[in-house]
A and B are shown apart, each in its own frame.
Chain A
Amino acid sequence: MHLQPSQPLQRREFLKRSGLALGFLASPAGLLRVVDAHACGEEGDIDLNAWVHVSNSENTITVKCPTAEMGQGIYTLIPLLIAEELDADWRTIRVEQAPSDKAFINPDHFNVQGVGGSPVARGAQGYWRVVRLAGAQARAILIANAASVWGVATGECTTEPNNVVHAASGRKLSYMQVAKLDDVKLDAPLLTEKDLKPASQWRLLGKDVQRLDVPLKVNGAAKYGIDVQIPGMLYASILRSPVATLPHPLYGDGAENGPLKVDAAATMQIEGVVKVVELPHAVAVVGTDYWATVLGKRALKVEWKQGSLASQYDSEAKKREWAVIAADRSKQGRAIDNTGNFDAAFKSAAQTLSADYVTDHVHHACMEPFNATASMMHDDLELWAPTQGQTWAQQACAKVTGLTEDKIRVHTTFLGGGFGAKTEQLPNAEAAMLSKIMDKTVKVIWSREDDVKHGAYRPLTAQHMNAALSADGKVTGWSHRLVADSVLLRARKDVWDKNPGIDGAVAVGMTQPYGIPNRHHEYVHQLGGVPVGYWNAVGNGFTIFAVESFIDEIAAKLGKDPLQLRIDMLTDAQGRAVLELVRKMSDWNRKREATALGVGYNHGGRWNCQIAVVVEVSVDRVNGTIKVHNVWAAADPGTAIQPRHLRQQLETGIIWGMSSTLRERVTIKAGVVQQSNFSDYPVLRMDEIPAIHIELLQGALGQSSGAGQIGVAPMAPAIANAVQRLTGARVRAMPMLPKQVRMVIAEANAGPTAV
């Protein structure tokens, strides 16, 4: 199914569904219980379509949430969208995790059931149209059945919350009463977007409600993947190669870094260890007691295969090597949205400018490490997983067990952070393989050290920028060359193979809407061999660092105000609006003592959410520490379904942006990640959080967007720009560690050229 904006939803998508759906049900009262869809056989309980279940006996309407709740608020957003069109009474709405099923695939996200790209964008935005149509269709079914009972035309009927109304005769039937009718007809007219409510009639969208999942998250009741308890299950702890190893199960098994020789004698002596299993990429210790498997893992003696591409990877060397490639135009990559003639513009320029930027790998460090629980019985596999990709989980488990995808049932738990990491499928595949071998339910728990040393790191990058400037101070030419490994090649190789060299998740963000007539953007792929993956805000995190830092470098060269220069150059009115707003919010023109302001802008691209941030920083010139005191952010998400929650999502992005700018860094030597835990991979803590001021514009009410990742990218350039305005030193590397800041300040003080 691929839905075009004008195409009506097909009726088959809304077929009445039954069958076992084991899920967690969250209610505002804080109840958590396992839901068995067979229980829906009670009188007066009915599935109006795949998404909406009306229960007369419980006086509730349950909405199925297709994807995982990982903090992005989807358990509340999807029910709100449906309730709005259904004209439901919010107090009766419950949410339930949908099973893995084709009825719930996301037409805006690889045509799979899953969440990524942006927690909200590819959650609510992707489902934005589909679920509202589902709600409208359920409402039409209720109206049709009530009208039939009354013997009146459907056109004479309307609704008020949870009731069908026939105003002419003063009659009413509640939705629950309709559900109890003897023979509810589920046929409904095909609806299109024209049948949906205009924004002016929204009753629920745009007004803050309490999130349905929150009560479960303050008393320990919320169940994450790591919390799954299946009677009689075994545990597995897995010893992995020293070399970073995270094969994507669909495209490789990681055997190149796998075990060569295993001595399990000491392990098998430990009480509670049942078996040591050699996997292609690792060695699993399986036992009846979790800690026994940890002890068993420590006691294993394993020789590992040598010589893989990953084992030759050194991140410091790669930065230097790739920076040379970035500056060498003879090393060609793939061009992206080029316009005009950059070479001609450069030749005729009054002056030119160039700069090189590098960024290190960063890691997700979700609070919940990877884990999965699988139970394979005969030709059927059940998976309990904190996964961002139900369909991908089915594919991965099918691949490693030999089952067909339709035999894999995925029970999605809450996610203790996702941020792109939990699109990865290796943990699910490990649980599936081990369950098949052990013929029992197996729960795989990754240690924090495994999670840090075998992550899906944001690619390391080198970027080379050039600008051509005219005599009257205009930017006439722009070139941006990006060198990095590809996430797509590793995680979605089938897509890469169709168009090798293009990776939208890496090169995204290079094309911001500055009205520069001659532009050249080029992505040069280099294969590194270590696992790279989808990290919060994907490529924007490094491309916008380069773009928005370089805009400030141009402003400095032209002697212009950097914020005003952006407004002057932007072709996008909403972009100018968020910049104007943040200028006002931050009192941009007021000179500060001992601090300075810096600006960063993110057009938002396919996330459809504009943001401009201004940060206020100070720098300790002796030790090189950057402190962020204030962040002002102006964003235009189009529609803010839940304004308060949207601000929280922006704040998360801002804090991620700060954390990755100031300290997060994965370094790799001979393929071995040098960090292991929060002790050497520090993330921001409470005492480092600035005051954050957020204002929202809703320039295009009715448009959907994703705000979850949008705040990440503008933070690094805003901080670098502020540091430059304060000290005169330009930081062109991420993270901006104190040692490096000290160095660029010393260089700026020594001479006119910053490095």
Chain B
Amino acid sequence: MITLTLTVNGAQREVTAHPDTPLLWVLRENLKFTGTKYGCGIGQCGACTVHLDGKPTFSCLHAIKDVMGKSVVTIEGLSSNGSHPLQRAWVEEQTPQCGYCQPGQIMRAAGLLKETPKPTRAQIVDYMKTNICRCGSYNRIIAAIERAAKEA
């Protein structure tokens, strides 16, 4: 195991883990940021999406040894109190059902709005299709992104 320092949600944090441990599991089990979810482990579902140096990224695909010195933002760090426009829109549209995939969906959507503040529906669908929602809340995810883009 190795000990290294990461910047997560604005603070430096020291962790000890096997060097090949995916960032996902370090966030969840070492640092207890359990809002970032395990869904597939192979970059197929998007439940583990975090921002790595500002870009939405599958945290299951990045070994901890490769993210040293980089900045990670998880759903817990997106806003201090759930007040990010996307989070408010997600509540307003009552988007989540089981809710398990939603932190990943919101982090992905935050990346979209950073790149394209006023996305078209087609742009939303194209950007968001990386993320699976087994409850099928897709139409309400689209509605929430459209709402956030309008209100932001």
Contacts and interface: CB of A to CB of B under 8 A. Distances in A.
A447 B41 contact: yes
A610 B41 CA distance: 39
A30 interface: yes
Given A211-B94, A417-B100, A686-B128, A219 B134 contact: no
A367 B126 contact: no
Contacts of A70: 98
A290 B101 contact: no
B144 to A, nearest CB: 9
A367 B22 contact: no
Contact of A220 (B18, B34, B138, B141): B34
Given A448-B40, A678-B44, A678-B45, A271 B18 contact: yes
Interface residues of B, number: 61
Contacts of A685: 129, 132, 138
A295 B18 contact: yes
B123 to A, nearest CB: 12
A366 B32 contact: no
A220 B21 contact: no
B18 A289 contact: yes
Contacts of A686: 125, 128-129, 131, 133, 138, 141-142
A417 B103 CA distance: 15
A686 B82 CA distance: 25
A292 B18 contact: yes
Contacts of A645: 94
A558 B117 CA distance: 56
A415 interface: yes
A414 interface: yes
A687 B126 contact: yes
Contacts of B58: none
Contacts of B20: 291, 295
B42 A218 contact: no
Given A220-B34, A367-B39, A290 B138 contact: no
Given A652-B135, A686-B128, A218 B87 contact: yes
Interface string B73-84: 011101101100
Nearest to A692: B139
A678 B33 CA distance: 24
A72 B137 CA distance: 12
B83 to A, nearest CB: 9
A148 interface: no
Contact of B37 (A289, A368, A419, A683): A368
A547 interface: no
Contacts of B78: 219
Contact of B129 (A30, A289, A687): A687
Contacts of B95: 214, 218
Interface in A198-249: 210-211, 213-224, 226-227, 229, 235
A737 B42 CA distance: 25
B18 A368 contact: no
A683 B97 CA distance: 17
Nearest to B87: A218
A683 B133 CA distance: 9
A219 to B, nearest CB: 4
Interface string A357-376: 00000000111110000000
B26 to A, nearest CB: 8
A684 B132 CA distance: 8
B139 to A, nearest CB: 6
Nearest to B36: A220
Interface in A406-427: 414-419
Top 7 nearest A-B pairs (CB, nearest first) are A220-B35, A416-B100, A217-B99, A71-B97, A655-B136, A71-B98, A227-B34
21 contacts: A71-B98, A73-B97, A211-B94, A218-B82, A218-B86, A219-B82, A220-B33, A226-B38, A289-B17, A295-B18, A367-B39, A367-B45, A367-B132, A368-B37, A369-B39, A416-B98, A447-B41, A652-B135, A655-B138, A686-B133, A692-B139
Interface of A: 30, 70-73, 210-211, 213-224, 226-227, 229, 235, 271-272, 289-292, 295, 365-369, 414-419, 445, 447-448, 644-645, 648, 651-652, 654-656, 677-679, 683-687, 689, 692
Given A217-B90, A415-B98, A448-B41, 9 more contacts: A71-B97, A214-B90, A217-B96, A224-B37, A367-B37, A367-B134, A416-B99, A678-B44, A684-B136
